[in-house]
Structure 1
Amino acid sequence: MKRLQKCCCCASTQTGTLITAVLGIVLSIATIITIWVVERHVISFKTFIFGEDFDRKLLALDIPRIILTVNLCFTILICILLIVAVQKRRSWLMLPWVVLGIVLAIGLLISVLHTSISFYLHDTDNEEEKYNYNIMATIILVGGIIYLCLYLYLWAVVFSHYLDVRDEEERGRYRKAPYRR
């Protein structure tokens, strides 16, 4: 992969990495607030493994909300670790974010495709309702792909900065004068 030299054609990859980490923290906090403020019946949860009764019991106990909140708290922690890594110029501290980022991108793609296909295949006899589901599926598909592209670009910015810092660390061991070690 060719490394990016700039973020958004004007900022360095270091600045882009810091912006990405701050965005991750802000979006995670906003999502946690939204998860706990929105009424329970609006959030849909299906395990696809167990029956609908089990899904309703899990939802009644707020298990999906708790799991999502814990995941988002770990995301906040990894974003804070990314900020520290940029400030201290340590590539190994950036690695958890890089790995998490690509895993989340794959999960986002699967989620967008699954959700839009589910809306497209929604079975109903009402033509107006079918039309509304098709519009919603198209919005989810197009919006999700745009969001995925933006996310992958920001991941590429962070990955490029990670590679730059890693290369700098490797070069630094042998190019420093003996009295500076």
Structure 2
Amino acid sequence: MGRLQKCCCCASTKTGTLITAVLGIILSIITIVLVWVVNRHEISFRTFIFAEEFDKKLAALDIPRIILTINLCFTILICFLLIVAVHKRRSWLMLPWVVLGIVLAIGLLISVLHTAITYYLDDQDHVILATCILVGGLFYLCLYLYLWAVVFSHYLDVRDEEERGRYTKAPYKR
């Protein structure tokens, strides 16, 4: 995979990485607030693992909301870790975000496809909604993967710098 040299054609990968971390923190906080402020009947949390009756019991006890909140708190922690890693130039501190990022991208793809297909197969006519979810979700996935590539490129740059030493060795072996 080729490395990106710039983020959005004007900023360095370091700046893009910091922006990505800050966006992750802001979006996680907004999501936590929305999950707990929005009325239960307006948002449906389902696990799709258990029987429908057990799933309703879990939702009544706010278990899915609690799990989502814990996951978002870990996302905030990993984004803070990414900010520290950029400032201290430590690649091993960036690694949790890089791994989490690709796992979240896979989860996002599955979620977008599942939601869109569910609406397409619904007895009611939700074709427009399903198409909007599919197009919007895939656009968001592409944007997310681009930001992940920016962070990954910066991770590789920092890792290479650590391997050869900051200023002690020449970048080329002659």
Q: TM-score, normalised by structure 2?
A: 0.94
The one-letter code sitting in structure 2 at the alignment partner of 1:98 is V
Q: 133, 136, 148: which is aligned to 1:155?
A: 148
Higher helix share: 1
Q: Which residue of 1 aligns with 2:134?
A: 141
Q: Distance in 2 between matches of 1:152 and 1:26?
A: 18
Q: Which residue of 2 aligns with 1:3?
A: 3
SS where residue 40 of structure 1 aligns?
coil
| Large movers: runs of 4+ above 6 Å | none
Query: 1:29-178 alignment to 2 at 5 Å?
Result: 29-124=29-124, 130=125, 133-172=126-165, 175=168
Q: Which runs of 5+ in 2 are unaligned?
A: 170-174
Task: Mark the structure with the bigger radius of gyration.
Answer: 1
Aligned residues: 169
- What per-residue deviation string (whole Å, max 9, x for no partner) do you get for residues 50-77 of structure 1? 2222111111111010000000000000
**Aligned Cα root-mean-square deviation (Å):** 1.2
Q: TM-score, normalised by structure 1?
A: 0.90
Q: Distance in 1 between matches of 2:31 and 2:45?
A: 16
Change (3 A) 1:165 1:150: same
Q: Which runs of 5+ in 1 are unaligned?
A: 125-129, 177-181
